[in-house]
Amino acid sequence: MTNIRTLMLVAVSGGALMALGACNNNETTTPADSTAMAPAEGAAMAPMAADPMVGGAAMSPNETIVANASKASNLSTLVAAVQAASLVETLQGPGPFTVFAPDNAAFDKIPEATRTALMQPAMKADLTKILTYHVVAGRLTAADIASQAQANGGTATLETVQGEELKVAAGPNDTWVITDAKGGKSTITQADVAQSNGVVHVVDAVLMP
Phi, psi of 149 (to 5 degrees): -65, -45
62: helix, strand or coil: coil
Give helix then strand counts, H and E, for the chain: 8, 9
Within 13 Å, how many C-alpha atoms sit on residue 135's CB side? Answer: 32
Distance from chain centroid for Cα 23: 14
- The C-alpha atoms of residue 74 and residue 91 are separated, in whole angstroms, by 18
Q: Which of 76, 84, 63, 140 is nearest to 106 (CA)?
A: 76
Q: pTM higher than 0.85 for the full model?
A: no
pLDDT at 6 over 80: no
Task: State residue 160's pLDDT score.
Answer: 92
pLDDT digits (tens, 9 = 90+) for 83-126: 888 878 887 888 899 999 999 999 888 788 878 888 899 999 88
Of the listed ranges 9-18, 117-126, 127-136, 157-166, the one predicted with least confidence? 9-18
Q: Which of 161, 160, 203 is nearest to 184 (CA)?
A: 203
DSSP state of 47: P
pLDDT digits (tens, 9 = 90+) for 178-209: 999 999 999 999 999 999 999 999 999 989 88
Q: Which of 25, 39, 69, 47 is nearest to 200 (CA)?
A: 69
- The C-alpha atoms of residue 83 and residue 66 are separated, in whole angstroms, by 10
Computed over every residue of the chain, the mean pLDDT equals: 79
